Amino acid sequence: MKVIELKASVTASNDRDADELRREMREKGVLLVNLMSAPGAGKTTLLSRLIRDMDGTRIAVMEADIESAVDAEHIEALGAQAIQVHTDGMCHMDAGMTARAWHAMDPDAIDLAVLENVGNLICPAEYDTGAGCNIMILSVPEGDDKPLKYPLMFSRCDALVISKLDALPYFGFDVETCAARARKLNPEIRVFPLSARTGEGMAEFEAWLLDRLDAWRRRP
Amino acid sequence: MKVIELKASVTASNDRDADELRREMREKGVLLVNLMSAPGAGKTTLLSRLIRDMDGTRIAVMEADIESAVDAEHIEALGAQAIQVHTDGMCHMDAGMTARAWHAMDPDAIDLAVLENVGNLICPAEYDTGAGCNIMILSVPEGDDKPLKYPLMFSRCDALVISKLDALPYFGFDVETCAARARKLNPEIRVFPLSARTGEGMAEFEAWLLDRLDAWRRRP
């Protein structure tokens, strides 16, 4: 498994780098998904489930972490292409770092490339990575008040996955309240309550992902 | 309830500011605790329990958030002194910001001042806030692999609280494995597995906090 060590990009123009990466990925017909959440919300568990469920779609994963390679090893063991990115202590990925990770992969064997961003609800929301789709996960144990506290993240995402739905009986979390708070910040946001463990809600989320991939490839 | 809006401190020397704040708080006999965790790990729930349990100790709370005042309102409703700090989008508190929040409180009515830092396992670990004690919370649903991924935070803390212990039967979390991983980074770290909901493990943590306060006041 490849591990690459990255430092913050030298270029000052992150937005230009992001647009350039999006153009390049559209030419390849690959949709880049930027997956963000707090630590432990279940990014790797969700990805593992998607890889198992969506067997007609070639999913590859760029795992961004400050240290360790446990997540990339886990993804690779499922038979998917995976690369571990170490961020040199950085709390987020920028477009230049994402492009370097992307260029270390085999683009012809990928439909959906997922950047598993550093576990952080704040800083990653401030950087356009060049993704064609931004998705965040909020897990039930974290609480339904998080849109009030981390508004930028909820504002920037195309979809909110509410994960660990099977833990709902155990925690005081109101899905409708949380969804309403997210929509107040971002009326267009799609909300997918699901459990990657039991499979509840996965089909709707996977169908939406396939629609996004299809739309990405059809757009001129 | 007071709400103060802060921007990053103008001074370049965070460490000098931090030492100055520590000196000032020692003169007042107040121990400042910097409480850090990922979003939703249970900082406010733990503080609420401490305020109810430790009725001989005057606890005051500085709630640092990017937005909202829900946590400070909650703490104030318990009868404790609380102040809400808005960080202007910043992902952490520095010593200058902490000093400004501290100066907005009544120092003569406080034994233990707790800074509830912004929910983030990365950036707050990089800044000395001037606290006399650094404590982090890792909640059971986040997973026992977090010391591998966020090593700086575990290295900088005097104590690791493993919270939501009552959710242990529901999640695959090994307390001993997690504690061993934390101690590998930081041999001196004290580990307190507890549940603020059921009260399990609270007495040990509270006794340790009182010892720290006592030691802080006795040190010349």
pLDDT in tens, A167-214: 999 998 999 999 999 999 999 999 999 999 999 999 999 999 999 999
Task: Summarize pLDDT for A51-80 with one digit per residue, the tens.
Answer: 999 999 999 999 999 988 899 999 999 999
* Comparison of pLDDT for B87 and A33, the residue scoring more: A33
Q: Is residue A2's pLDDT more than 80?
A: no
Count residue pairs from A and B with Cβ separation < 8 A. 100
Write the ipTM.
0.90
Task: Tell me which residue in A67, A118, A164 faces B141 most closely, judged by beta carbons.
Answer: A164
Rounded distance between C-alpha atoms, residue A81 and residue A58, angstroms? 9
Is B121 close to A120, i.e. CB distance below 8 A? Answer: yes
Q: Kindly report the nearest CA distance between residue B100 and chain A, in angstroms.
A: 21
Q: Is residue A32's pLDDT more than 70?
A: yes
Task: Summarize pLDDT for B151-200 with one digit per residue, the tens.
Answer: 999 999 999 999 999 999 999 899 999 999 999 999 999 999 999 999 99
Residue B11 is predicted with a pLDDT of 60
Q: Kindly report the nearest CA distance between residue A195 and chain B, in angstroms.
A: 13
Q: Which residue of A has its CA nearest to B66?
A: A149
Per-residue pLDDT of chain B (220 residues; tens, 9 = 90+): 677 776 666 666 999 999 999 999 999 999 999 999 999 999 999 999 999 999 999 999 999 999 888 999 999 999 999 999 999 888 999 999 999 999 999 999 999 999 999 999 999 999 999 999 999 999 999 999 999 999 999 999 999 999 999 999 999 899 999 999 999 999 999 999 999 999 999 999 999 999 999 999 998 6
Structure tokens at A206: 């996977």
Burial class of B187 by CB neighbour count within 10 A (0 to 12, 13 to 18, 19+): exposed
Task: Tell me which residue in B121, B148, B170 faces A170 most closely, judged by beta carbons.
Answer: B170
For residue A80, report the phi and psi dihedrals to the nearest 5 degrees: -95, 155
Q: For all residues of chain A together, what is the average pLDDT?
A: 94
Rounded distance between C-alpha atoms, residue A143 and residue A137, angstroms? 12
Write out chain A residues lying below 8 Å of B40, CB-based.
38, 139, 141-143, 146
Write out chain A residues lying below 8 Å of B170, CB-based.
167, 170
Q: Are B71 and B152 in contact (CB under 8 A)?
A: no
Q: Kindly report the nearest CA distance between residue B71 and chain A, in angstroms.
A: 10
User: What CATH number does the domain located at B2-136+201-218 have?
Assistant: 3.40.50.300
Q: Is residue A7's pLDDT more than 90?
A: no
Q: Is residue A99's pLDDT more than 70?
A: yes
Is B68 close to A145, i.e. CB distance below 8 A? Answer: yes
Is B119 close to A148, i.e. CB distance below 8 A? Answer: no
Task: Summarize pLDDT for A113-145 with one digit per residue, the tens.
Answer: 999 999 999 999 999 999 999 999 999 999 999
Task: Summarize pLDDT for A44-57 with one digit per residue, the tens.
Answer: 999 999 999 999 99
Contacts of B33 (CB under 8 A, 6+ apart): B112, B113, B114, B115, B131, B132, B133, B134, B135, B209
Q: Are A153 and A121 in contact (CB under 8 A)?
A: yes
Is B148 close to A67, i.e. CB distance below 8 A? Answer: yes
Which pTM value belongs to this model?
0.93
Distances (CA, A) of B46 to B36, B42, B135: 12, 6, 12
Q: Kindly report the nearest CA distance between residue A185 and chain B, in angstroms.
A: 13
Question: Which residue ranges make up each domain of chain B?
Answer: 2-136+201-218
Residue A162 is predicted with a pLDDT of 98
Q: Cite the DSSP H helix spans in B54-174.
A: 70-77, 95-102, 146-149, 151-156
Q: Cite the DSSP H helix spans in A115-170.
A: 146-149, 151-156
Write out chain A residues lying below 8 Å of B146, CB-based.
39-40
Residue A5 is predicted with a pLDDT of 76
Q: Kindly report the nearest CA distance between residue A41 and chain B, in angstroms.
A: 6
**Which site among B36, B43, B48, B66 would you substitute to test the A interface, given the most A Cβ atoms closer than 10 Å to its Cβ?**
B66
Q: Which residue of B has its CA nearest to A119?
A: B121
Q: Is residue A8's pLDDT more than 70?
A: no
Question: Region A7-11: what's the mean pLDDT?
Answer: 64
| pLDDT-based confidence at residue A89 (cuts at 50, 70, 90) | confident
Write out chain A residues lying below 8 Å of B150, CB-based.
39, 66, 119
Q: Which residue of B has its CA nearest to A92?
A: B122
In the CATH scheme, what architecture does the domain A15-135+148-154+200-214 have?
3-Layer(aba) Sandwich (3.40)
Q: Kindly report the nearest CA distance between residue A218 and chain B, in angstroms.
A: 37
Is A164 close to B148, i.e. CB distance below 8 A? Answer: no
Write out chain A residues lying below 8 Å of B171, CB-based.
167
Is A67 close to B149, i.e. CB distance below 8 A? Answer: yes
